[in-house]
């Protein structure tokens, strides 16, 4: 099992830093991925993320043990779902304003509640279902201007509409991947899960090669290589944050990404969030925080019951 050290402030700092680096990664993908096949972007992101991950495992002397697994099929399934989710998310990043793609991605915790109830038969009480419903209202407010095919809002480009749908699908698949991770952690170490996801994503993205990869210029290649490297570092920091603090303590700081995404979008792409996006994002963030609160209470209640049954 992974060792944990109680230091909530360090855990929160690592979480926020990881979010900042993930936003930098997304900015690099947006700048370098326009006109590049999504499978090609995913390959660069996954392959070069393995460089810092392998170094991290070597420093921790976990490189050999990280390759040992009792559930290779579970890792493959998680990688298969995860790489599709990642690719759809990259499509949205390339074709949507950065703050918008981030805000739509906040639907992932909402889908996670549904996936947990359906796939793991977890008990979900009315308060969380109400929060999920409210969150999806917020998501609808965000994406409605893009859904021109349904008659919503002003005329937008088809690529933007597809981008909004792609990010929403990415969030749904990411929720399924999260459920798979919950099952994997019962028998697998964190290092093994991180390593095998990057490895499987690299291999699986190669299967998109016959569908046509684009010729890539050196500046674009460097941006995508840096995106992969930075993404790998961000993944390490995210993993380490949970070593120092409980999930319930650090998870709400995920929503700081809208701040960093807005800053990067404005400085590098002249993008500003609309009033509609801010209203929808506020609703989704509120619903997500409430779900985290209810989940932490549920886990605390479960822990108390288990301790009361212990002789």
What SS3 state is found at 216? coil
- Cβ-Cβ contacts under 8 Å for 144 (sequence gap 6 or more): 152, 153, 276
pLDDT of the residue at 153: 46
CA atoms within 13 A on the CB side of 30: 25
Q: Rounded CA gap, 184 and 115, in Å? A: 15
CA distance 32 to 231: 14
* Contact between residue 250 and residue 78 where contact means Cβ atoms under 8 Å apart: no
Which tokens is 136 given?
């999806």
pLDDT per residue as tens digits for the range 161-173: 889 999 999 999 9
Note the pTM of the prediction, 2 decimals: 0.89
Contact 78, 257 (CB under 8 A): no
Average pLDDT, the chain: 87
**What pLDDT is recorded for position 146?**
78
Kindly tell me if the per-residue pLDDT of 307 is higher than 50. no
pLDDT score recorded for residue 134: 95
Rg (CA), the chain: 19
Judged against a pLDDT cut of 70, whether residue 37 lies above it is answered with: yes
| Torsion sign over Cα 234, 240, 244, 245 | positive
152 pLDDT higher than 60: no
pLDDT at 155: 45
Q: Average pLDDT of 261-287?
A: 93
pLDDT at residue 1 tops 50: no
- The interaxial angle of helices 98-105 and 275-309, nearest 10 deg, is 30
pLDDT at 59 over 70: yes
- Model pLDDT for residues 209-266, shown as the tens digit of each residue: 988 888 889 999 999 999 999 999 999 998 888 778 777 778 889 999 999 999 999 9
Please give the share of the chain, as a percent, with pLDDT higher than 90.
Answer: 59
Q: What is the band of 309 on the pLDDT scale with cuts at 50, 70, 90?
A: very low
- 47 or 241, which is more confident: 47
Give the residue, 111 or 292, on which the prediction is more confident.
111
Range in 43-52, 148-157, 216-225, 259-268 with the lowest mean pLDDT: 148-157
Q: Would the pLDDT of 44 be above 80? A: yes
Share of the chain above pLDDT 70, in %: 90
Query: Is 60 exceeded by the pLDDT of residue 4?
Result: no
Task: Supply the pLDDT for residue 142.
Answer: 92
Distance, in Å, from the CA atom of 230 to the CA atom of 24, rounded to the nearest integer, reads 8
Helix orientation angle between 158-184 and 108-119, rounded to the nearest 10 degrees: 50
Q: What is the pLDDT of residues 87-134, one digit of tens each?
A: 999 999 999 999 999 999 999 999 999 998 898 888 888 888 999 999
| Percent of residues in the chain assigned helix, strand, coil, to nearest 5 | 80, 0, 20
pLDDT at 26: 97
- Residue 148: the pLDDT is 59
Is the pLDDT confidence value at 174 over 50? yes
pLDDT digits (tens, 9 = 90+) for 60-73: 888 888 888 989 99
């Amino acid at each position: 099992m992974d060792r944990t050290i109680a230091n909530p402030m360090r855990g929160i700092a690592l979480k926020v830093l990881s979010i900042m680096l993930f936003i930098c990664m997304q900015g690099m993908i947006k700048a370098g991925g326009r006109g590049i096949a999504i499978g090609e972007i995913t390959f660069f992101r996954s392959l070069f993320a393995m460089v810092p991950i392998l170094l991290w495992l070597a420093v921790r002397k976990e490189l050999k043990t990280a390759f040992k697994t009792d559930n290779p099929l579970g890792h493959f399934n998680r990688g298969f779902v995860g790489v599709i989710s990642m690719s759809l998310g990259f499509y949205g990043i390339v074709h949507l304003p950065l703050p918008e793609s981030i805000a739509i991605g906040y639907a992932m915790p909402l889908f996670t509640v549904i996936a947990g109830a359906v796939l793991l038969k977890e008990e979900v009480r009315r308060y969380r279902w109400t929060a999920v419903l409210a969150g999806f209202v917020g998501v609808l407010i965000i994406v409605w201007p893009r859904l021109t095919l349904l008659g919503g809002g002003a005329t937008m480009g088809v690529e933007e509409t597809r981008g909004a749908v792609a990010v929403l699908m990415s969030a749904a698949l990411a929720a399924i991947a999260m459920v798979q991770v919950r099952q994997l952690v019962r028998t697998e170490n964190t290092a093994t899960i991180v390593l095998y996801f990057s490895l499987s994503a690299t291999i699986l993205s190669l299967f998109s090669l016959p569908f046509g990869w684009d010729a890539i210029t050196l500046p674009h290649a460097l941006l995508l290589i840096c995106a992969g490297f930075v993404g790998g570092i961000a993944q390490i920091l995210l993993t380490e944050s949970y070593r120092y603090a409980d999930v319930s303590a650090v998870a709400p700081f995920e929503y700081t990404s809208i701040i960093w995404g807005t800053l990067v979008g404005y400085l590098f792409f002249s993008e500003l969030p609309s009033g509609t996006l801010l209203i929808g994002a506020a609703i989704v963030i509120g619903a997500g925080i409430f779900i985290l609160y209810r989940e932490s209470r549920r886990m605390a209640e479960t822990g108390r019951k288990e301790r009361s049954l212990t002789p």
